[in-house]
Structure 1
Amino acid sequence: MAARGTGSPGSGQSKGTRPRPTGELGRYLVATPDRGSTADAATDALREAILDGLIPASTWLREEEIAAELQLSRTPVREAIRRLTSEGLAVRMPNHGTQVAPMAMEDILAVYTVRESLEGLAARLAAQRASEQLRTGLRDIHEKFKRAAASGDAGVLSDLNLEFHRAIRVATDNRYLERFLTQVEHAVRRFGNSTFRDSRRVDATIYEHESILNAIVNGMAEDAEVHARSHMRRAREARLEAFLRANS
């Protein structure tokens, strides 16, 4: 399906590359797509594989190999790669092909600069529109997060963290804000090396989420925004520390 390194897809495998086991990508194809939806299915499968780290940064995306793994024709795969390029998850290299977009420390800084503003706005709007369903939902997610903290499962904690923020953005009922924050979420998932491997960050997140939650539940829009922005600044610091440790 793909090969890491600087060689182009058409030039054979570059030095140090290794083929992927057949079928590894196929598990991301939720179901056999109906006629007309194969491009959507291929896009979703490739996106999730990239976000989960199955297809690493700088990996070449080869249409023929991907199509074989997904048991689809090359046309929907080509469209899927085009869509992921427009989303910023892949980059087109002139005269070579398309590869998964690389990630660097500058990406973390850029993403969290945007995320701080957007998450703050989302929290403000959610507080202004807070329904009983949102209040109950956020409390439930927060309690699950606290219980998961006892087990120290970073994967579960990461999922619940995303669920908490996803519930807030959906509650804004603003499709543009939700779209932008969804793209931000995709970028964050690609950073890998969950900060929740550090128990100190887990404890801090419980406190920070609780502050956001209380502000939203009580309809305190300004406080909700302040707490959300502060939470993002601390998340950025933790993410940078994790990135530096992983790359030192």
Structure 2
Amino acid sequence: MPDPIPLRGASLHDGVASRLRTMIFEGQLAPGGWVDEKQLAATWQVSRTPLREALKVLASEGLVELVPHRGCRVVEISDADADDLFPVMALLEGRCALEAVRNADDTALARLRHLHGELERHAAAGDIEAYFRLNHEFHSLVQALADNRWLDRVTGDLRRFMRLMRGRQLQLPGRLQASINEHRVLMDAFEQRDAHRAERAMHDHLLAQLVAFKKLRQPARSRRAPSATPATSRG
């Protein structure tokens, strides 16, 4: 359910846009689903104007699609999108890791170590949702530690689309444990101050996610595939 607290202030549509992003990233507005403008406007006690302005902002970010005469729906990442997106993110996040290792001081390393410890805890508990949330925080910290505004700009932009998939690959049996193992390799590279090893580890971690994503969607494809009808002979 949307947050019932009314929105006020001069930058009203910015606040609305922020809440809509949160709802999308948290899965409250599902990929491919339509945005109920009337309900949201009533719940947040705003007119439709700031809501529509906010949706235009999200459309410019690629998170929603404005459909003439029908309304607005949340963008859904297709299989082809995932195939194209993961390798690009692997390159970008690998570079983030390399630069983060070079920049990280003892305090930053301690922050990463703490987050990794929490990831270990969630992985051990099998808590996929908590692991996904904290994993996003971990990757965002690595991105921030890279301290490269151009890298940050493009990585942050594409990370929004990664979040639309909400870590679905973690649903694959065994993937959660594989993911934390990959994080251990990455953390060891940070601990050893090995920037190039960290770059490879992060790159491989992202590509492993794509492999898991493909494996997860194979059964769904099989279910959708039409059954073959045997040919009949006519005499």
Equivalent position to 2:91, from 93, 101, 117: 117
Matching residue of 1:21:
none
Q: For residues 148 and 2 of structure 2, what CA distance do their matches in structure 1 show? A: 33
CA displacement at 1:119 relative to structure 2: 0.5
Q: Is the 8 A contact 1:127 1:218 kept in 2?
A: no
Report the more deviating stretch, 134-143 or 48-57: 48-57
Aligned-partner residue type, residue 112 of structure 2: L
Is residue 26 of structure 1 aligned with residue 19 of structure 2? no
The runs of 5 or more residues in structure 2 that have no matched partner are 224-235
CA displacement at 1:26 relative to structure 2: 2.4
Is residue 92 of structure 1 aligned with residue 66 of structure 2? yes
SS in 2 for 1:60: coil
Deviations for 1:151-186, whole angstroms, at most 9, x for unmatched residues?
Answer: 111111111211211110010112332233333332
Q: For residues 39 and 166 of structure 2, what CA distance do their matches in structure 1 show? A: 25
Matching residue of 1:7:
none
Deviations for 1:64-102, whole angstroms, at most 9, x for unmatched residues?
Answer: 332112211222211110111011111123444332113
Q: For residues 217 and 11 of structure 2, what CA distance do their matches in structure 1 show? A: 37
Q: How many residues align?
A: 222
Q: For residues 130 and 173 of structure 2, what CA distance do their matches in structure 1 show? A: 14
Change (3 A) 1:193 1:135: closer
SS in 1 for 2:31: coil
Q: For residues 82 and 245 of structure 1, what CA distance do their matches in structure 2 show? A: 36
Alignment of 1:56-95 (within 5 A): 56-95=30-69
Equivalent position to 1:223, from 188, 197, 220: 197
Matching residue of 1:147:
121
Change (3 A) 1:84 1:244: farther
Report the more deviating stretch, 174-183 or 214-223: 174-183
Deviations for 1:132-160, whole angstroms, at most 9, x for unmatched residues?
Answer: 12210111111111122221111111112
Q: TM-score, normalization: structure 2?
A: 0.85
Q: For residues 58 and 204 of structure 1, what CA distance do their matches in structure 2 show? A: 29
The runs of 5 or more residues in structure 1 that have no matched partner are 1-23
| RMSD (Å), alpha carbons | 2.1
Q: For residues 245 and 165 of structure 1, what CA distance do their matches in structure 2 show? A: 29
Report the more deviating stretch, 48-57 or 89-98: 89-98
CA displacement at 1:225 relative to structure 2: 0.9
Report the more deviating stretch, 238-247 or 164-173: 238-247
Deviations for 1:29-84, whole angstroms, at most 9, x for unmatched residues?
Answer: xx644411321211111111122222222333354332112211222211110111
Matching residue of 1:160:
134
Q: Is the 8 A contact 2:76 2:164 kept in 1?
A: no
Q: For residues 125 and 217 of structure 1, what CA distance do their matches in structure 2 show? A: 14
SS in 2 for 1:26: coil
| Bigger radius of gyration among the two | 2
SS in 1 for 2:20: helix
Alignment of 1:125-140 (within 5 A): 125-140=99-114
Q: Is the 8 A contact 2:132 2:166 kept in 1?
A: no
Change (3 A) 1:245 1:134: farther
Aligned-partner residue type, residue 64 of structure 2: A
Q: Is the 8 A contact 1:88 1:101 kept in 2?
A: yes
SS in 1 for 2:73: strand
Matching residue of 1:102:
76
Matching residue of 2:25:
51
Question: Once the two structures are aligned, what percentage of the paired residues are identical?
Answer: 29
Matching residue of 2:233:
none
